[in-house]
Amino acid sequence: MIELTESAQRHFRRLLESQGGDAVGILLGAVNGGTSKADVRLEFCETVDLAGDEWAVECEGFTLYVRSDSTGYLDGASIDFLGDATGGQLSIRAPRIKGQAPEAGASLFERVQYVIEHEVNPQLAAHRGHVSLAGIEADGIVLLRFGGGCHGCGMVDVTLKQGIESTLKTRVPEITEVRDATDHSTGATPYYRGRS
């Protein structure tokens, strides 16, 4: 369930009235749900914009629709509007939008993927880089592919062994080793170019 305060409902009603036309409500969705880059998108919607499987929250004078693929991320969200002298600000709190840590019985893949998305990639983003999980071998060896500023970077071995492998082994003890599965010769924009 999503909670909309009275002030948020008034704000949405004013916005819809100012639009005129065929807008029937507000459409809410999660962008990049379950990742560290998750965000919320709000937009006016017309009947033709609706797939028919949205979650509908009936409000006074309009309907808030939640995209069906976003309901798990937005369940328990709250929306408020805080008015002030310059107009105000919409506040959306969605505690599940970035996903939840996998349960103890979750697969090794799910647990490794969660650590990559929520701990490793936010650190690599400072250097315009990221990693993706290429696979996990039966003996606990994790294979990663580097992208962005890490693809072709001269410091990737240090990043892999002293940063990523250390983090993954601490968070997921079944991991025995972390290996790089990237062809770094094709990296176009490395953060740090090694000596040739």
Instruction: Please choose, from the candidates 33, 32, 35, 31, the residue with its C-alpha nearest in 3D space to the C-alpha of residue 120.
Output: 35
User: What is the sign, positive or negative, of the torsion defined by CA atoms of 8, 45, 98, 100?
Assistant: positive
Domains and CATH numbers, the chain: 3-93 (2.60.300.12), 108-186 (3.30.300.130)
Query: What is the DSSP code (8-state) at residue 47?
Result: G
58 pairs with which residues across the strands?
Answer: 63
pLDDT tens, per residue, the chain with 196 residues: 899 999 999 999 999 988 877 788 999 999 988 887 889 999 999 989 899 999 999 998 899 999 999 998 999 999 999 988 888 999 999 998 988 888 878 999 999 998 998 889 888 888 888 999 999 998 999 999 998 888 888 888 898 988 999 999 999 999 999 999 988 777 666 666 654 4
Residue 152, helix vs strand vs coil: coil
- Lookup: tokens for 81: 């509007």
The 3-state DSSP composition of the chain as helix, strand, coil percent (nearest 5) reads 30, 30, 40
Per-residue pLDDT, 190: 61
